[in-house]
Structure 1
Amino acid sequence: MKLKSALIAAAVATLAQASLAEEKVLNLYSARHYQTDEALYADFTKQTGIRINRIEGKEDELLERIRNEGANSPADVFLTVDAARLAKAHELGLFAPVASKTLESRIPAHLRTEDWFSFSTRARVIVYNKSSVKAEDVRNYEDLADPKLKGKFCSRSGSHPYNLSLMASVIAHGNDAKAETWARGMVANFARAPKGGDTDQIKSVAAGECGVTISNTYYVARLLRSTKPEDQKTMEKVGIVWPNQQTTGTHINVSGGGMLKTAPHKEAAVKFLEYLASDAAQRYFADGNNEWPAVGSVKVSNPALESLGKFKADTLPVKNLAMYQAKAQMIFDRAGFK
């Protein structure tokens, strides 16, 4: 009798799981905190009828949650920003390989791996004070270590993923000794100790607290689009340089995601990832959050991005950025770039 009851219970549980798997729903864990993504998700539901349940949080918190939930995790897709954070999910064994001709044909090879995909890109540019620094003196990332900029460079923390990914690209293109010399040169040129985010650095450059900094382009575009008089004045005082146009190209980072191994709604997960590579979704990334589409053929309408002009982007595979993250942190630590 007990055996029969157990078998019935098991059958009911199996049916419940099958029913859950067939339900037109997608459970999304996202570390992207952009209000403009709301339109993205609403459009996906409109097109497919698949409802999105979204849980937002910081990257490490969400990854730890997925690990703790284990095989019972309801999460289908994990989205975040920065190649290193996506690689961490891969290293933890959380992502499942996705076989999709749509994703393979639309997302360039250097912007995807076997189990996660980039859906938008952002470039790390040099921002300088027009009255105290000449554009020709900051044409390359390497120039930030030039003694002529002593007391003029400001930055966010060296341990932040945006700076770690940039350093990882320098390591990938050169060698460890060259990368460490560059890090020590930047530290020697500090106008102040690293603090704040990219927007804070831009405002500090405009205010004359420092003469030059580095920033992700969507922060620049956000200020360019701002209707606040103080932001408009800030952008009048600074100039933007696309670094390394004669060599490796300007460093780019990504926003992306992948399907989780334990995803209960795998079909919906793949559909969602493929949707993110669609023209409509790619335009949301660009027009809504000032990022560039990962799909090169997509035409966008963002005056702020367009005003920055065309540039040569570094095509270093995104997985290489993750490969050298630990080494990048060690180099920054030794150089005193806190």
Structure 2
Amino acid sequence: MKLFSRALLSAIALSGLFTAASAQANEVNLYTTREPGLIQPIIEQFKTDTGINVNTVFVKDGLLERVKAEGDKSPADVLMTVDIGNLIDLVQGGITQPVESKTLTEVIPANLRGADNHWYALSLRDRVAYVAKELNIDSLTYEDFADPKWKGKVCIRSGQHPYNTALIAAMIAHNGVEATETWLEGVKANLGRKAAGGDRDVARDILGGICDIGIANAYYVGRMKNAEPGSDNHKWGQAIKVIRPTFASTKSQGTHVNISGAAVAKYAPNKDNALALLEYLVSDKAQQMYAQANYEYPVRAGVKLDPVVASFGPLKVDPLPLVEIAKHRKEASKLVDKVGFDQ
């Protein structure tokens, strides 16, 4: 795999050399906001199975701005990111193109891909409850986190983090802005400490007795429980159990998920290879690697899960289309500030 620094890639792209070298039958250029190490095993397997080399470019921030600046000379073929909002921003920014694929539409449920075929989910990240393992509860709704009985017992990271603005946006989509504001005020009143840190800090603070329950992503639990015995991460993971909440106001009884996903770049010089990569990423083999290496939930049905993730029970996804959730992101962010959630 070839790794390019931002400065080096920009220089090559401007000279036109990268584009000329990239339009080869055995190459595809992947721009990703995900740490390359998280997907490297899958990328290497793709090369082994197909003979197509993947040039991976890690773009921590400003993916949309970078590709727009490169214009029609951009060497990008595939754009990969996490969070539905970030993916929608790429589409609305005009730097993606629709691709037709029977494989992708058969594997990926309609609510987890763009209706216009501009983007596709590759893995799921369910937003769950971390619960102190000694508590005798086995079900929760997202609305329960505002119940006064949990006053001083809830932990969560910043409300402005994309993981949480997506959840709040989903709450708006289900219950409306007014009800969501009341709910958010209730959750803030129940916080055991300032909304800050990361998802693993929720488990840490449950172990430390600062809180009893919290909201965080499920895949972190796979990382913690599979960490080296005796390590802090392992201790944090062993202190909690996972409950998948649902929305009390809906009959669907589904859990909120966010995604990692990808799109084909508008001016992809290797469009056929880009599509081949996307189709490979939803194959049984690649989805198995997502599940076993990253502890993310596969988008493909029937894939064997890591034992820790399997222990959480079946995942029933909230059927609300992700595009409907994304529509309410700005409203969600405004509510976080309005109620002073992070203060």
Q: What TM-score does the superposition give when structure 2 sets the normalisation length? A: 0.88
Q: Tell me how far apart the structure 2 counterparts of residues 37 and 57 of structure 1 sit (CA, whole Å).
A: 14
Matched residue, 1:97: 98
Mean CA deviation greater in 322-331 or 302-311: 302-311
Closer, same or farther: CA 53–148 of 1 in aligned 2, 3 Å: same
Q: Tell me how far apart the structure 1 counterparts of residues 107 and 271 of structure 2 sit (CA, whole Å).
A: 20
Mean CA deviation greater in 34-43 or 171-180: 34-43
Q: Tell me how far apart the structure 1 counterparts of residues 190 and 136 of structure 2 sit (CA, whole Å).
A: 16
Query: How big is each residue's C-alpha offset from its partner over 1:301-323, in whole Å with a ceiling of 9 and x where there is no partner?
Result: 41111121224221211212211
Closer, same or farther: CA 240–34 of 1 in aligned 2, 3 Å: farther
Deviation at 1:227, TM superposition (A): 2.0
Q: What TM-score does the superposition give when structure 1 sets the normalisation length? A: 0.89
1:281 has 2:281 as partner: no
Q: Tell me how far apart the structure 1 counterparts of residues 159 and 247 of structure 2 sit (CA, whole Å).
A: 24
Q: Tell me how far apart the structure 1 counterparts of residues 80 and 98 of structure 2 sit (CA, whole Å).
A: 15
Query: How big is each residue's C-alpha offset from its partner over 1:42-78, in whole Å with a ceiling of 9 and x where there is no partner?
Result: 11111221111111122x4222211111111111111
What residue identity is the alignment partner of 2:53?
R
Q: Tell me how far apart the structure 2 counterparts of residues 18 and 100 of structure 1 sit (CA, whole Å).
A: 27
Alignment map for 1:246-325 (pairs within 5 Å): 247=251, 248-297=253-302, 299-325=303-329
1:182 has 2:186 as partner: no
Matched residue, 1:9: none
State the secondary structure of the residue aligned to 1:44: helix
Q: Which runs of 5+ in 2 are unaligned?
A: 1-14
Q: Which has the larger radius of gyration?
A: 1
Deviation at 1:200, TM superposition (A): 1.1
Closer, same or farther: CA 224–19 of 1 in aligned 2, 3 Å: closer
Deviation at 1:326, TM superposition (A): 0.8
What residue identity is the alignment partner of 2:312?
L
Deviation at 1:81, TM superposition (A): 0.9
Query: How big is each residue's C-alpha offset from its partner over 1:256-288, in whole Å with a ceiling of 9 and x where there is no partner?
Result: 100010111111111111111111111111111
Deviation at 1:23, TM superposition (A): 3.9
What residue identity is the alignment partner of 1:224?
K
Corresponding pairs, count = 321
Q: Tell me how far apart the structure 2 counterparts of residues 80 and 37 of structure 1 sit (CA, whole Å).
A: 12
Q: Tell me how far apart the structure 1 counterparts of residues 92 and 136 of structure 2 sit (CA, whole Å).
A: 43
* Contact 1:128/1:212 (8 A) holds in 2: yes
Matched residue, 2:333: 329
What residue identity is the alignment partner of 1:331?
L
Matched residue, 2:169: 168
Report the aligned-residue RMSD: 2.1
Matched residue, 1:123: 126
Out of 50, 54, 57, the position equivalent to 2:56 is: 54
Deviation at 1:20, TM superposition (A): 4.7
Alignment map for 1:16-55 (pairs within 5 Å): 20-33=22-35, 35-55=37-57
* Contact 1:34/1:289 (8 A) holds in 2: no
* Contact 1:135/1:239 (8 A) holds in 2: no
Q: Tell me how far apart the structure 2 counterparts of residues 240 and 290 of structure 1 sit (CA, whole Å).
A: 14
Q: Tell me how far apart the structure 1 counterparts of residues 67 and 56 of structure 2 sit (CA, whole Å).
A: 14
Q: Which runs of 5+ in 1 are unaligned?
A: 1-12
What residue identity is the alignment partner of 1:24?
N
Q: Tell me how far apart the structure 1 counterparts of residues 19 and 338 of structure 2 sit (CA, whole Å).
A: 51
Matched residue, 2:154: 153
Q: Tell me how far apart the structure 1 counterparts of residues 299 and 43 of structure 2 sit (CA, whole Å).
A: 18
Matched residue, 2:7: none
Mean CA deviation greater in 112-121 or 32-41: 32-41
Matched residue, 1:5: none
Deviation at 1:134, TM superposition (A): 4.8
Alignment map for 1:207-246 (pairs within 5 Å): 207-229=208-230, 230-244=232-246
State the secondary structure of the residue aligned to 1:38: helix
Deviation at 1:238, TM superposition (A): 1.9
Q: Tell me how far apart the structure 1 counterparts of residues 79 and 97 of structure 2 sit (CA, whole Å).
A: 11
Matched residue, 1:75: 76
Closer, same or farther: CA 134–332 of 1 in aligned 2, 3 Å: farther
Closer, same or farther: CA 188–19 of 1 in aligned 2, 3 Å: closer
